[in-house]
Amino acid sequence: MDISPTTTHGTLLAVDGHSLAFRAFFALPVENFTTKEGQPTNAVYGFLTMLAQVIEAEHPNRIGIAFDVKGGTFRNELLGQYKGTREAAPQELLSQLPLIQQALEALGVRYVEQPGYEGDDVIATLATMGEQAGYKTLVLSGDRDAFQLIDDHITVLYPGYHFKDLKHMDPQAVLDKYHVTPQQYPDLAALRGETADNIPGVPGVGDGFAAKWINQFGGLEGIIAHANEIGGKKGQALRDNIEQVKLNRKVNALVRDLDLGVGMQDLTFGHVHPDLLEALFGQLEFGSRTRTRLLKTFNNGGVRETELPVEPRDIPGIVEPVVDTVDDAAALKAWIEQYCPQPDRHGSDPAATLNIVGQYRREHVQCAEAVAQSWTLHAQGSAKPGHASMQMLAIMASDHAIVIDPASDMFRATVQDLLNTRAGSLCVHGFKEHLHMLDAAGIQLTTALFDTNLAGYLIDPEFQGGTLEACAEHFLNVSVDTEERPAQGTLAFDIETEEGDPQQECIERAALVTALARYLAPDVEQRHQYPLLRDIELPTSRVLFQMEKTGASVDRARFGELYEQFSEESARMEEVAWSSAGHEVNLQSPKQLGTVLFDEMKLTPTKKTKKGSYTTNAAALTALFAQSEEGSKANEFLGALLRHRETNKLKQIVQTLIDAINPQDGRIHTTFTQTVTATGRLSSVDPNLQNIPNRNAAGREIRSGFVPGPGYEALLSADYSQVELRIMADLSGDEALIEAFKSGADFHKYVASLVFAKPVDDVSASERSRVKAMSYGLAYGLSTYGLSQQLGIGVSEANALKNQYFQTFGKVHDYLESLVADARRTGYTETIFGRRRYFPQLTSASRNARDAAERGALNAPIQGSAADIMKIAMIRADRALHEHGLASRIVLQIHDELVVELAPGEIDEATELVKDAMEHAVDLAVPLDVSTGIGADWQRAAH
């Protein structure tokens, strides 16, 4: 789609801030974006990243971000139930909205709020201002009401399932989708209603009938005037609901002439405040790569930093291949023989090399030369588990390229033979994703030489781009020009895609993968990361592909019961809280909670937020609850409030799971990601299964909804016990800690007995708890202040406990000290298996940035080693089940746990194989301990 400017003044980008924040919050797992102090940051990170993507794609000259303001609007007066059925936003999101606004201020981007009106009205006014000032205006919004703004100068950027799939909704796009013009869209919406906003429409009338009537009678006024002429049940329904439809039309009309107190001259950007940004990003514990990327975008490329300690080298040019045509299988086979190289020793089965585990750091593998002689495959299609498909396949070799339909009976067998014999010299971007797409076409792929997505992640684990376009821009400074994404800036290379030619686009992306592989391979080799890619990451991708394809079987009825249970409990706790307060209160409103707690109940205020109000986050409320007198109104109110928040969160998790059930097989097909967490841990999205609680009874009930599918009789849960502490004992070589594991006694009581110099039997529960927190805190890089907060003790007391611990385990102290010192010297830390993480901020002038980098340097080797061990365990367990001919299969990997679907008659053998694979994933100074349990559902399999 051509969206080049139609005026000489430039482009205004008007953004629905709340809509973007919500999408960011639910797109990224909150547990992977939380500071050491417990502040979630996923919405902040996602918001800024998504906004940066749009800025880089569209090049606006002006930006305005609209936010909603607490309190009702005129629409609530018109329609009492307006938005009344919407779930309250999670507190984890609400706490991030002020941080998003602080970040915008630091980045020099103007945001606008207007009491009494919605952010949609602010956007409508901004768009109108831009149009009147001669700007092309782009409205970034996920609200369809914005479609009424569309004309020849205003385009709505409407997010698809994935944010990057922004649809450019112009007048023709609206007409194509709804069969009405943008000006008529509000009439259609008034007839149809809007479930999300609790606006009832005409019963039985959807977009199709609404559009039919509008085209027949010219619009809503004409429909109402001729209502008596419309027959049937729908005609009667229309007549019965005419007043509601009129009211709907008033409610959905956007206000376009608000006095916002800003003009177009106030909507400039590009004047970043580095000091403010440095302080905020230090507080949020964002890496320097994030800071650099955002500064580059928001400061118009004015600030550049070199982060990774590699020798500068030229970016390879992207070769424009000679495009050949193959008409039949014989021609394809001849082309392959002429251009596609045979694999060398790097193409051996990656799983077979796992016997070198523990020697990765000392093994130097040359891969750059092999990659330089490799061939590239790029598939176009969908890799979404449960819905995978492939439209076409581009193959590039020796600077020649072809495009074929892989599902064609003519080519399928030849392509399969190509992958069977030459996959060992193959480069792809997204090995797991290609497994899904090829599988959808009936083609199997066993291995690959190089995955540019995984390689980029190993080179820069702070970078979470993932897509080919993002990786090309990040590493090659290349912008991909598509129908919906114009080329940007002066770049090393611009891909020019001929509109309407998907085959050419597929070839160009294959050329991009080739260039990316040739650029990354020398760094992968230089940093000794290829064994990780070959022996851990690529085989893990293959196991994850099978898990995603299989999915996890669930009991939908059980999820329904849990949803009702949590809904009822949430409502009951709300009533208890209201009763304790003596009046109704919005439990999601920090301002109203502050009034109740500190003005009415006279509780001692918590610390203030940056905006001057007293914080009411989870940590503050928990502290207030602990301090309140048992049986008091405040105690009752706070207990109900905390329980309300907890059950609300559980209800939202269950709803997400219900929505994710594939109707075709009744299973949930999550997507596991290998390139999100900087430590190497896996995460999952669509839905996020990592956030299913396991620390409270109510949260664990959600696991009861996961059950064996047809043909299977039970689930096996197998998880590591204290894996981080065992790794810390091995890496530090501390004899006392090693002996604690070998003693066979309760580990934490044994350690506490050494720390407090008393017999094991005399260790109190409190002493055990404190030492347990200390042990895990050290493994997670927890600061002394963080430990004091976790234990509810003073900083001096926590520091004394820490010193006492180090006096007992001196080598642990020396090891942790050496991590930071070595990272300052080399610039990175390493896991047992050589996985690196870089910390340039260790030498930052900002104390906050240095402290965050030190915590990361303490955390990365232990957490990263645990992540590597789990991946190796998955590979070994999957291989063992297959080699023994068992039908039992791994379906989930959550934190340190594997969940296996057990086939009839295989329970004992499968359990033993999985347990053995996990316990012998690596040889440490202390044995790895794996607990197993079997049950009719995941919860019952707990142990």
Q: How far apart are CA 372 and CA 735, in angstroms?
A: 47
**What is the chain's alpha carbon radius of gyration, rounded to the nearest angstrom?**
29
Q: How far apart are CA 585 and CA 395, in angstroms?
A: 62
Walk across the sheet containing 375-382 and list its strands: 322-323, 400-404, 389-397, 375-382, 426-428, 450-451
Q: How far apart are CA 421 and CA 204, in angstroms?
A: 57
3-class secondary structure, 886: coil
Confidence at residue 73, expressed as pLDDT on a 0 to 100 scale: 59
Angle at 484 between CA 478 and CA 490, to 5 degrees: 30
Cβ(615)–Cβ(607) under 8 Å? yes
Q: How far apart are CA 711 and CA 657, in angstroms?
A: 23
Query: pLDDT digits over 793-832, tens only?
Result: 888 888 888 888 888 999 998 998 899 999 998 999 999 9
Look at the domain 11-171+256-266 and name its fold: Rossmann fold (3.40.50)
Residue type, 875: I
Q: How far apart are CA 191 and CA 234, in angstroms?
A: 11
The answer on pLDDT for 836 being more than 80 is yes
Confidence at residue 92, expressed as pLDDT on a 0 to 100 scale: 86
Query: pLDDT digits over 54-64, tens only?
Result: 988 888 889 99
pLDDT grade, residue 888 (50/70/90)?
very high
* Higher pLDDT pick, 790 / 341: 341
Query: pLDDT digits over 359-391, tens only?
Result: 444 456 789 999 999 999 999 999 999 899 999
Confidence at residue 486, expressed as pLDDT on a 0 to 100 scale: 30
In terms of Cα–Cα distance, which of 110, 112, 115 is closest to 123?
112
Give, rounded to a whole angstrom, the gap between the first and last alpha carbons of the chain: 56
Confidence at residue 200, expressed as pLDDT on a 0 to 100 scale: 78
Q: How far apart are CA 30 and CA 422, in angstroms?
A: 41
Q: How far apart are CA 30 and CA 25, in angstroms?
A: 7
For 496, list phi and psi in degrees, rounded to 5.
-105, 110
- 3-state SS string for 239-284: HHCHHHHHHHHHHHCCCCCCCCCCCHHHHCCCCCCHHHHHHHHHHH
Confidence at residue 247, expressed as pLDDT on a 0 to 100 scale: 84
Q: What is the mean pLDDT of residues 572-593?
A: 91
785 is written with which tokens? 């202040």
pLDDT grade, residue 202 (50/70/90)?
confident
**How large is the greatest C-alpha to C-alpha distance in the chain, in angstroms?**
92
Q: How far apart are CA 184 and CA 120, in angstroms?
A: 18
Confidence at residue 527, expressed as pLDDT on a 0 to 100 scale: 92
Q: How far apart are CA 111 and CA 9, in angstroms?
A: 21
Could you name the CATH architecture of 703-721+866-935? 2-Layer Sandwich (3.30)
Q: How far apart are CA 790 and CA 352, in angstroms?
A: 44
Q: Produce one character per residue of 276-301: b if its CB has 16 or more CB atoms within 10 Å, e if not.
A: ebbbbbbbbbbbbbbbbbbbbbbbee
The answer on pLDDT for 1 being more than 60 is no
Q: Which of the following CATH numbers is that of domain 556-660: 1.10.760.10, 1.20.1060.10, 1.20.140.10, 3.40.1440.60?
A: 1.20.1060.10
Query: pLDDT digits over 740-782, tens only?
Result: 998 888 889 999 999 999 999 999 998 998 888 888 888 777 7
Q: What is the mean pLDDT of residues 891-915?
A: 97
Half-sphere exposure of 703 (CA within 13 A, CB side): 25
State the chain's mean pLDDT as an integer.
Answer: 85
Half-sphere exposure of 610 (CA within 13 A, CB side): 12
pLDDT grade, residue 893 (50/70/90)?
very high
Q: How far apart are CA 610 and CA 630, in angstroms?
A: 31
Q: What is the CATH number of domain 322-550?
A: 3.30.420.10
822 is written with which tokens? 């070595």
The answer on pLDDT for 167 being more than 90 is no
Half-sphere exposure of 750 (CA within 13 A, CB side): 13
Confidence at residue 611, expressed as pLDDT on a 0 to 100 scale: 56
Query: pLDDT digits over 99-110, tens only?
Result: 999 999 888 899
Residue carrying the six token digits 């970043």: 272
Q: What pTM was estimated for this model as a whole?
A: 0.69
Confidence at residue 348, expressed as pLDDT on a 0 to 100 scale: 43
Q: What is the mean pLDDT of residues 45-49?
A: 91
Q: Produce one character per residue of 332-362: b if its CB has 16 or more CB atoms within 10 Å, e if not.
A: bbebbeebbeebeebbeebbebbeebeebee
3-class secondary structure, 470: helix
The answer on pLDDT for 500 being more than 70 is no
* Higher pLDDT pick, 331 / 343: 331
Residue 322's DSSP bridge partners are: 400
Q: 890: part of which helix (H) or strand (E)?
A: strand 889-894
454 is written with which tokens? 């995984």
* Higher pLDDT pick, 291 / 221: 221
In terms of Cα–Cα distance, which of 58, 40, 89, 8 is closest to 645?
89
Neighbours of 727 (CB within 10 A): 26
Confidence at residue 465, expressed as pLDDT on a 0 to 100 scale: 67
Crossing angle for the helix pair 765-779 and 795-808, nearest 10 degrees?
Answer: 80
The answer on pLDDT for 86 being more than 60 is no
The answer on pLDDT for 490 being more than 70 is no
Task: Please say whether the structural domain 724-859 has been given the CATH code 1.10.3720.10.
Answer: no
Where are the chain's structural domains?
A: 11-171+256-266, 322-550, 556-660, 703-721+866-935, 724-859
Confidence at residue 743, expressed as pLDDT on a 0 to 100 scale: 86
Q: What is the mean pLDDT of residues 77-106?
A: 74
Confidence at residue 142, expressed as pLDDT on a 0 to 100 scale: 86
Do domains 322-550 and 703-721+866-935 share one topology? The answer is: no
In terms of Cα–Cα distance, which of 135, 166, 172 is closest to 16?
166
Residue carrying the six token digits 């118009």: 300
